[in-house]
Amino acid sequence: MLENGKTSRLPNFYKLDISERHEVLNEAVGLTHEERWMLKKEPLNPKQAEMMVENLIGVFGMPLGLAVNFRINEREYLIPMGVEETSVVAAASNAAKIIREGGSLHAESSAPEMIAQICLTGIRDFDAAMARLTGEKASILETADRQDPTLKSLGGGARDIEIRRLPRKGGDMLVVHLIVDVRDAMGANVVNTMAEAVSPSLAILAGGEVLCKIVSNLADRRTARASARVAPLPLESPGIPGAEVARRIALASEFAEIDPYRAATHNKGIMNGIDALMIATGNDWRAVEAGAHSWAARSGSYKPLAVWSVAGDGFLEGRIELPMAVGLIGGVASVHPGVAVTRRILGVSSASELAEVAAALGLVQNLAALRALVTVGIQKGHMELHARNVALSAGALGELALEVADQMIREGRIRFDRAREIIRQVMKGK
């Protein structure tokens, strides 16, 4: 969140070169000398990377973009996005701008409760096992809490157990869910430690054996929700009035609701935004992906994570909800120096706030995709950015890059050699 009444509305940010963008960013968030330096150079060196994975052979780069124009819960956000796909950052920024022109974007989240599963087999008397486990709930939670006194002191800790019997040929399974409020951590480590600590006594109480104990990525007790209201006028596209665009977006949303083939792509577009934020903030995006898709399929058929409809007053209304197991402490944050910078830019003060921004970003990304799909199509935006990237890589900067890109699009020839030629011609004429 931006402080001191600063705005994330940064017109023409995309037209600047990278060092000019750093200046603007610095004005907005006040980066330290080291943080600015970190953005300029490769933020992770091999020594640091060596602490993260085995058999290290190098550090693999990823573009870091900045989504602008976001106002969520009346707060202004600049959102760092680590993503390799053209158009994603521009689309998010553009849709966020559309929403702020007369609309609104809100987000909220549940308590940060994660689930660890302890799977027990070989149980003969299920009723007795369940009764004993329920009766010993307090001591099970106490054992779990002893594994992380700091979490307890921060107001988190083991909250509850749930017991599920899973029917299976050859003997049912008994699964105990240990529910833990993990506060600002992603939480997999802490709940895994707790599950391992309590499992021997669970096996004794249940009269069975422990098969395995591990976090569940279907973090359905830790969800983030966002909702948007979008005025019809700013949705307009050349030759298509905003009200018609809104109607088509609602129809495209219905398409995703009734067809899993479409729902998969609809959700992929949502995850374009969410994953990019996860990557930029050093979060486990595979965990968030697993949570999102298992949540989307929880009814038994695969559904869209976000849906849209047109309200009585003509506004387009969208909402999204999905599990959001994200953290601000622990994990990569402690070893990846770049993460400290991206988190400073985003300016969130809790994992819940990060989860809310992620859900809002997913919803906005979905709006951008649907609007493009029901109007000009997705390729146009891709081509514009692709042309600009080709122009930039050929050596054009600022306005010149736009001029070169425009000409290549007009000619239908978006190529590095053509970009070089145009640059030469323009420079000669100056």
CA distance 213 to 193: 9
Decide if residue 272 touches ligand MEV (CB under 6 A).
Answer: yes
Decide if residue 273 touches ligand MEV (CB under 6 A).
Answer: no
The residue count for binding ligand MEV (CB under 6 A) is 9
Contacts of 267 (CB under 8 A, 6+ apart): 292, 293, 296, 304, 305
Q: In the stretch 214-243, what mask flags binding to ligand MEV with x, by CB under 6 A?
A: ------------------------------
Minimum separation from the CB atom of position 266 to ligand MEV (A)? 5
- Residue 318, strand partner residues: 228, 308
Contacting range for ligand MEV; rule: CB under 6 A; set: 10-18, 124-132, 189-197, 263-271: 263-271
Contacting range for ligand MEV; rule: CB under 6 A; set: 13-21, 96-104, 261-269, 280-288: 261-269
Q: Which two tokens stand for residue 205?
A: 């109480």
Q: Is the CA virtual torsion 85, 222, 212, 152 positive or negative?
A: positive
The SS3 assignment for 138 reads helix
Number of CB atoms found within 10 A of residue 18's CB: 10
Contacting range for ligand MEV; rule: CB under 6 A; set: 10-18, 198-206, 266-274, 297-305: 266-274
Nearer to ligand MEV, 38 or 306 (CB): 306
By CB atoms closer than 10 A (0-12, 13-18, 19+), residue 129 is: buried
* Sole binder of ligand MEV in the list 15, 40, 146, 268 (CB under 6 A): 268
In sequence order, what E strands does 95-187 have?
104-109, 113-121, 157-166, 173-181
**Residue list 62-101, contact with ligand MEV (CB under 6 A):** 85
Contacts of 25 (CB under 8 A, 6+ apart): 31, 39, 66, 78, 345
DSSP sequence for 316-337: EEEEEEEE----SBSGGGGT-H
User: Which amino acids are annotated catalytic?
Assistant: 85, 268, 284, 382
Q: In the stretch 332-371, what mask flags binding to ligand MEV with x, by CB under 6 A?
A: -------------------------------------x--
Decide if residue 388 touches ligand MEV (CB under 6 A).
Answer: no
Residue whose Cβ sits closest to ligand MEV: 269
Decide if residue 266 touches ligand MEV (CB under 6 A).
Answer: yes
Helical H segments across 281-378, by residue range: 285-296, 337-346, 351-373
Contacting range for ligand MEV; rule: CB under 6 A; set: 197-205, 268-276, 301-309, 350-358: 268-276
* Sole binder of ligand MEV in the list 265, 294, 309, 389 (CB under 6 A): 265
Contacts with ligand MEV, residue ranges (CB under 6 A)? 85, 265-266, 268-269, 272, 369, 373, 378
